[in-house]
Chains A and B, each alone.
Chain A
Amino acid sequence: DAGVIQSPRHEVTEMGQEVTLRCKPISGHNSLFWYRQTMMRGLELLIYFNNNVPIDDSGMPEDRFSAKMPNASFSTLKIQPSEPRDSAVYFCASSDTGNTIYFGEGSWLTVV
């Protein structure tokens, strides 16, 4: 079974550039999460979608971050403009409203 698929796996970009991270959740899952992992803050929830609708975006750090879920099989997390402090691993995860969420392998972002 295909798990959560994220792209790109690695991205190195210059400060000020736009970054778009992509996610395909597990088929049939109706909840999607974007998490960010850093050394300082660990795993933090950025935004949570249910049935393609953003339910909680309180974790989105600032207006430079935006997320969309145009359909049940695709979501994007965009950073514009990117800054060096955005360097982190970004995880997408999905759930079928059960108790367990399943993570992708992450997108490793470096902003120089």
Chain B
Amino acid sequence: DQQVKQNSPSLSVQEGRISILNCDYTNSMFDYFLWYKKYPAEGPTFLISISSIKDKNEDGRFTVFLNKSAKHLSLHIVPSQPGDSAVYFCAFRSNDYKLSFGAGTTVTVRA
């Protein structure tokens, strides 16, 4: 989807360090922002989300940041664990309930 750009196809990080994933978007109508995690041979599973009225949402080791002026969404995972190795998709919802997905970032956490 050209409205969503997840520019880093892969990320390798040492166990215990921070993983930072980024997405940029162009559609100012997006009002809800999500991150999904996908293991091989499984469907994407919901990870964390944030509405457009907030700039930060935290859930355990996962924090999502939204910068509306820059149209930028990020996910921080700290500390990273081997089980976090997966593909992460950012997703954006507009008021018609459709989700537009980024291309995905493959995260590899090295022990």
Interface positions of A (Cβ within 8 A of B): 4, 31, 33, 42-45, 48, 50, 55-56, 91, 93, 95, 97, 99-106
Contact = CB atoms under 8 A, between A and B. Distances in A.
- Range class of the B interface residue count: 20 to 34
B98 A45 contact: yes
A48 B97 contact: yes
Interface string B82-108: 000000010001001111111110000
Interface string B36-48: 1000011111100
A104 B98 CA distance: 17
A42 B97 contact: no
Nearest to A99: B32
Contacts of A50: 97
Given A43-B89, A44-B1, A48-B97, A99 B43 contact: no
Interface in B38-71: 41-46, 49, 51
